[in-house]
Amino acid sequence: MTPTNSAELESQLLAADPQKIAADPKGFGELVKNYQAASIANYGEQLKGEIAEQTQATLADMARDLKAEVAAPKPGVNYAKGYNPGALGAKLDEVYENSVDFIRSTWHGNAHRPEAAAKLARVRNDYGTQVPADGGFLVPESLRSTLLEVALESSIVRPLATVVPMETQRVPFPTIDSTSNASSVHGGLIGYWTEESAALTESQATFGRVVLDAKKLTGYSEVPNELFADSILSFDALLGRLWPQAIAHFEDVAFFRGTGVGEPLGFQNANAAVSVTAESGQAAATIVWENIVKMYARMLPTSLSRAVWIANINTFPELATMALSVGTGGGPVWLSNGVGGPPATILGRPVIFTEKAETLGTAGDIVFADLSYYLIGDRQQMQMSSSPHYKFANDQTAVRIIERLDGRPWLQSAITPNKGSTTLTPFVRLATRS
């Protein structure tokens, strides 16, 4: 046996017969050479292990240091829930103390100050991927996430949708190409009952992808220069409350009914959306209980615990007076009396009233939707810029904020159930009644 360490070599030498060694010096030499080779090999493996261990430890330390330097939140600062330490604007959190400091520094009237100029040199950017001239100033992540959190208070789709952070302008997101559960699920997966030791039958799912392509949502307003010069706190209040509400409004409008061309594709225009037709003889601009029941029956069963009703506020009179006919009688099904407020649910699912849904009588005036099947690609990047030139004669500053995002339905087709031919979907709307 070839010794692999000094202890084994010593043991073999002590047990060796000197006469045999003298009679076969070549064999003894081979023993020593083999020992030397085995020792080097063992040492090499040991050395490689030590190097790998040290390398991993060094890289881990570097990663921790980098995260602490670039993305670590400031101690004692309460960041918004949507704060992402990996976002582009996170590196600017240390540049500005708060939103007032950011606004004051980026306003052209203060840009000549040395301290403001030094900060602007760090934040001036050219992040427009398709239109480099868009430029502006990258908004710190702490401010962006705060604006977004305020927007969530008045947003309908974003809090219920699946939000996908986008590290690049275009992000392909995988989806299962499923159209029917009649004989398979998830676009081709089939389960077989198989006897012991019998050959297995092959099946596989068909996968597709939804491409999220960041698009620009631009907000614009004209602000009197006195507001910047005399009351920057007032403008901060304007930015902190009105802008998020405006962002939420225009996001929702696109998420509801966007065309997908230069803007998100709204869930009402999804290929997977289905429309429940009006009842025979139903009057125009009405909603009857049968409409609601049939809409509920078109929802994916797995989505019933997540789906919500979204309706234009002008549908309320119709919903409040819906009646269930029983023989020659009947009664209201949503409001039982006029004492308390209206219930917050229909068939156990929440009701959200909004002006963003279609008007009464139009397709989509009431929708039953599971918005977790709607994808929002968020570039997590916001830019702000101002110009004193456009409204110079009016002594006003034009302010522009740019957000980059996209929205797409995740499911590409309504699904035929295992039993029955009526398709099911997470996006159900009531068709036009005319």
Q: DSSP characters for 363-376?
A: TTSEEEE-GGGEEE
- Give the residue from 201, 175, 177, 174 showing the smallest Cα distance to 187: 177
Write 127-135 long-range contacts (CB < 8 A, 24+): 127/88, 127/381, 127/383, 129/169, 129/214, 130/169, 134/216, 134/383, 134/402, 135/383, 135/385
pTM over 0.75: no
Residue 383 and residue 261 share a domain: yes
Instruction: Identify the residue whose tokens are 């990258």.
Output: 138
Both 30 and 91 in one domain: the answer is no
- Whether 280 maps to a domain, the answer reads yes
383 neighbors 127 (Cβ within 8 angstroms) = yes
Q: Count Cα atoms within 13 angstroms, Cβ side, for 190.
A: 12
Backbone phi, psi, residue 138, to 5°: -65, 125
Residue whose C-alpha is closest to residue 158's, from 311, 367, 378, 359:
378
Question: Residue 185: inside a domain, yes or no?
Answer: yes
C-alpha–C-alpha distance, residues 266 and 93, integer Å: 34
Q: Are 23 and 100 in a shared domain?
A: no
DSSP structural state of residue 348: T
Q: How far apart are CA 358 and CA 317, in angstroms?
A: 15
Question: For 257, how many CA atoms within 13 A lie in the half-sphere containing its CB?
Answer: 13
Same domain, 266 and 414: yes
Query: What are the start-end ranges of the H helices in 183-285?
Result: 225-230, 232-257
Domain of 19 in residue numbering reads as 6-56
- Total of domains in the chain: 2
Burial of residue 88 (CB within 10 Å: 0-12, 13-18, 19+) is buried
Q: Do residue 184 and residue 36 come from a single domain?
A: no
Query: Is 257 found in the same domain as 385?
Result: yes
Question: Residue 199 falls within a domain, yes or no?
Answer: no
Same domain, 278 and 146: yes
Give the CA-trace dihedral at 33, 34, 37, 39, to 10 degrees.
Answer: -110
Q: For residue 229, is it within any domain?
A: yes
- The torsion angles phi and psi of 310, rounded to 5 degrees, stand at -125, 120
Q: Are 161 and 407 in contact (CB under 8 A)?
A: yes
> Which pLDDT tens digits describe the chain residue by residue (434 residues)?
556 555 665 566 556 655 655 565 556 566 666 655 665 555 555 545 554 555 455 445 544 444 433 344 454 445 555 566 666 666 666 666 665 566 666 655 555 566 666 666 555 543 333 433 344 555 655 556 666 665 666 789 998 999 888 878 888 887 766 777 776 666 666 666 767 776 766 666 666 778 889 898 887 777 777 766 666 666 666 666 677 788 889 999 999 999 999 999 999 999 999 999 999 999 999 999 999 999 999 999 989 999 999 999 999 999 998 988 776 666 778 876 666 777 889 999 999 999 999 999 999 999 999 999 999 988 877 777 777 777 777 777 777 788 889 999 988 889 888 888 899 999 999 999 98
Note the pLDDT of residue 128: 39
